[in-house]
Chain A
Amino acid sequence: MTYKVTEENNISTVFLNGEIDMDVTDKAKEVIIPLIEAGKEVHINLKDVEYMDSSGISVLIESHQMGQEKNTRVVLKEISKSVLKVIMMAKLEQILTIE
């Protein structure tokens, strides 16, 4: 997994790339969680994520819940087809913020 972070109008966008499994979830959390803790609106762009398992889904859930705690928006953007399939299998499409 690789990532890139951009900042624009007080919105941090984290572009994740590659395959997200338990081997890289700590790395993903280290990037995403501090941005949410800082109270920023965080967009997680998933267009280049080719594979995500339950560990990756856990990162999305934790990020969403932390956003609620910190009263800031965590939005999933441009979700790839394979990741959307997994999100829907977990019935999370109504829970997570998807735009």
Chain B
Amino acid sequence: MPSISEYKNFEVNSANLKHVRTFAREVFNKSETLKNYQEELVLALAEAAQNIVKHAYNSEPSTDTMKVEINYSEDGLLLIELFDKGKAAIPENIKPRNLDDIKAGGLGTFFIGQIMDQVIFKTSKVDWVNHLILKKQF
């Protein structure tokens, strides 16, 4: 199983979300295992990127960049990391919504939780404000 380690920076705006997805698809296509889960993994990563645009930058386009990093190790551990310089996230306030409450919005965090094994927020990374880690063991 070959290991993968790739990253790319994107300007923070909603028009770039499609480019984030294209990058993710290209990387996931390099592994047969990840390729089989490509749709779900792209959704999880794209929801996290969307949350940066929406919440860290209040949906305002910015010339700031966000960094998307994908690491897949030989032991089958996938790490998707997103870094941004927007408003600091308050992890306690980020909760998936109750699905019984049928309303528009708030589903992204739920999807990420459904697809990935673990979601870790960090706010102390040097050079960045927010550092989100999505983990999945294959």
Contacts and interface: CB of A to CB of B under 8 A. Distances in A.
Interface of A: 19, 21-23, 51, 53-55, 57-59, 61-62, 65, 82, 85-86, 89-92, 95
A86 B103 contact: no
Given A23-B15, A54-B47, A91-B99, 13 more contacts: A21-B21, A22-B54, A22-B59, A51-B21, A51-B43, A54-B108, A54-B110, A55-B50, A58-B105, A58-B107, A85-B39, A86-B43, A89-B111
A23 B17 CA distance: 8
Where chain A touches its partner, the secondary structure class is helix
Contact of A23 (B14, B43, B106): B14
A89 B39 CA distance: 13
A67 to B, nearest CB: 13
B114 interface: yes
B134 to A, nearest CB: 15
Contacts of A90: 99, 107, 110-111
A23 B87 CA distance: 20
Given A19-B21, A22-B14, A23-B18, A53 B104 contact: no
Interface of B: 14-15, 17-18, 21, 39-40, 42-43, 46-47, 50, 53-54, 59, 99, 102-108, 110-111, 114
A92 B47 CA distance: 18
Nearest to A1: B18
A89 B114 contact: yes
B14 A21 contact: yes
Given A23-B14, A61-B102, A82 B39 contact: yes
Contacts of A22: 14, 17, 50, 53-54, 59
B104 A61 contact: yes
Contact of B17 (A21, A58, A82, A86): A21
B50 A54 contact: yes
A21 B107 contact: no
Contacts of B99: 90-91
Nearest to A64: B102
Nearest to A19: B18
Contacts of A62: 104
